[in-house]
Amino acid sequence: SQTIHQWPATLVQPVGSPLSLECTVEGTSNPNLYWYRQAAGRGLQLLFYSIGIDQISSEVPQNLSASRPQDRQFILSSKKLLLSDSGFYLCASRQTRNEKLFFGSGTQLSVL
């Protein structure tokens, strides 16, 4: 099975500061990678997904961007954080479509 490493677990950032969240995957190669955001007590909103290196699809126009510089590395970034960027960010991976997702432990981001 796959192991998803995601860090940090919690992050407090001021409005207007940059952001970089990193996710790395073990136990597979050429996975499909995903970034989700979850507001408190709510469902998961798909932000970005990637089927290969430098192949990123954006689901929602927003203040965030994603990159995949290596096969098993997925990075979520922002140049200037907004208050509305606060939330629980989850990285997920699967080998191909129609299979289950493996999730990281998440990053709780608070923008103040």
Partner 1 sequence: SQQGEEDPQALSIQEGENATMNCSYKTSINNLQWYRQNSGRGLVHLILIRSNEREKHSGRLRVTLDTSKKSSSLLITASRAADTASYFCATDVLEGAQKLVFGQGTRLTINP
Residues that bind partner 1 (CB under 8 A): 4, 6, 32, 34, 36, 41-44, 46, 49, 51, 57, 59, 88, 90, 92, 94, 96-106, 108
Among candidate residues 68, 47, 49, the one with its CA nearest the CA of residue 57: 49
CB closer to partner 1, 32 vs 78:
32
CB closer to partner 1, 20 vs 57:
57
Residue with tokens 């990281």, as numbered in its chain: 104
Question: Residue 97, class by beta-carbon neighbours within 10 Å (0-12 exposed, 13-18 middle, 19+ buried)?
Answer: exposed
CB closer to partner 1, 6 vs 78:
6
Smallest gap from Cβ 22 to partner 1, in A, equals: 15
CA distances from 83 to 42, 95, 100 (A): 17, 34, 32
Smallest gap from Cβ 99 to partner 1, in A, equals: 8
